[in-house]
Amino acid sequence: MADAKRACDFRVSEYLFKLSAEGVRVFSNSVYRHASLGEVINVRADRAGKLAESYETEDLEAHLRIIPADGDIELSIEILETSADFIDAAIPSLEQALGKSVRFIEVMSLMLFDFIAERNTTEVLTKLGMSIQEASEYRIALKRRDSNVIPFR
């Protein structure tokens, strides 16, 4: 029996579209085959619930401000239902950390942010067409929190 899948259709910003394309490129190069955005999300889905504890709140906020989710570019992907469940389950912890509502597409955006941070792909910033100031802010946000440090809030 095939795994259940969920089709997702969004209208995203230019930056998020470029980030998703760059994420696919980096992932494809790491697995030595052409991959899809759905594959990237499926592989990274189990990290979704750890995003709030892996980064400073300010860095997550900076990502969502610099790379807004909403825009005019159509983006359609198909992901495993289990991946969608991981993303849905991550929403409450991210909402608590950010102090505002968080949408499914924003969690996916943060997952791509996490993937790029993990790969330390600094060339992404220029490929996204960011200004010097935006690239500088984003570079700071890409630094992961040490995993052995427990934040006090």
**Segments making up each domain of the chain, as ranges:** 5-141
Distance CA 143, CA 40 (A): 21
pTM above 0.95, yes or no: no
pLDDT digits (tens, 9 = 90+) for 15-51: 999 999 999 998 998 899 999 999 999 999 999 999 9
pLDDT digits (tens, 9 = 90+) for 51-99: 999 999 999 999 999 999 999 999 999 999 999 999 999 999 999 999 9
**Phi and psi, residue 122, nearest 5°:** -70, -25
